[in-house]
Amino acid sequence: MEGIKDRIFRFLIFLCASTVILIAAGMCITLFINSLPVLKHMGVSFILSSDWDPVNNKFGILPFLVGTLITSFLSLLISLPFSISTAILLGEYLRKGRMAIFLQNIIDLMAGIPSVIYGFWGLLVLVPIVQKVEIKLNIIPYGVGIFTASIVLATMVIPYTASIAREVISLVPDDLREAGYALGATRWEVIRCIVIPHAKTGIFAGVLLAFGRAIGETMAVTMIIGNRNQIPKSIFAPANTMASAIANQFTEATSDIYVSALIGVGLVLFMVTVIINYAGRYIIKRLEIK
């Protein structure tokens, strides 16, 4: 009897696991097939042209691609000091006690807030502040743009990196820490020379997860990025991202080639995510060997 149960169980988990793979592959294939018309129509200039003109059936997605990459990387850059500090605080200094639980809860809460609320906050609170800065710097006070969007994205991704980094930091064996202290290291030296090197692959995985969130964020970004389909010339300039372009234009896209172009944007977004994930895996591996 045990054997049959075992076999059924094995069959079931194989079935479920392969379904997941099938769905992922299916999505990729659907995106590819549906974007074929626009790829044929535009060729390489689909990715290299910065001319997005649905009226004349010209679809160049370079501005969206650039906008997506800049906002995602910038937001990671802004968020990193905050998320790593939070993780070290929770993993090293405040490992137990009410304060630790309270902080951890707040971080989890931040991860759970719907993105449209971040967008609102950005539009109502952050935009006027950025406008004041822009007036001081003597540029047109749009308020919305890459800078504002990156700050809001950074706020959104902090909990992702922070939670995972805290987890891996607290997994660093205490023996190592104690050995460091025994050798006369200060707390700072222990963190810098023992804890961080030991936890860096895990921290990097957290950063990768945060990147995935930042690159696909739609609602919050579309509210505060300015939605201008041009390659941004400065950090305060309005721009657009791939996810935001799809969400904005899909409902009213009537012609077949237009729909295909938007699906093509989806395909590129998918590819970028895959590439960055693989690059990330590669870096993690390199980090592990050292």
* Cα–Cα dist 266/59, whole Å: 13
DSSP annotation of 56: G
Nearest to other proteins of 210, 239 (CB atom): 239
Nearest to other proteins of 231, 284 (CB atom): 231
Q: What region, left, alpha or beta, does residue 243 occupy, with left being phi > 0 and alpha being psi -120 to 50 degrees?
A: alpha
* Cα–Cα dist 110/119, whole Å: 13
Q: How far is the CB of 242 from other proteins (least distance, A)?
A: 14
> ∠ at Cα 69 (120, 60), nearest 5°?
100
Q: How far is the CB of 139 from other proteins (least distance, A)?
A: 10
Q: How far is the CB of 26 from other proteins (least distance, A)?
A: 22
Nearest to other proteins of 43, 128 (CB atom): 128
Question: Cα 196 vs. chain centroid, distance in angstroms?
Answer: 22
Task: Say if CB 257 and CB 88 are below 8 A apart.
Answer: no
* Cα–Cα dist 11/16, whole Å: 9
Nearest to other proteins of 19, 255 (CB atom): 255
Q: How far is the CB of 43 from other proteins (least distance, A)?
A: 19
Interacting residues toward other proteins by CB under 8 A = 51-56, 58, 123, 127-128, 131, 140-144, 222-223, 226-229, 238, 240, 244, 247-254
Q: How far is the CB of 126 from other proteins (least distance, A)?
A: 11
Nearest to other proteins of 120, 181 (CB atom): 120
Task: Say if CB 201 and CB 288 are below 8 A apart.
Answer: yes
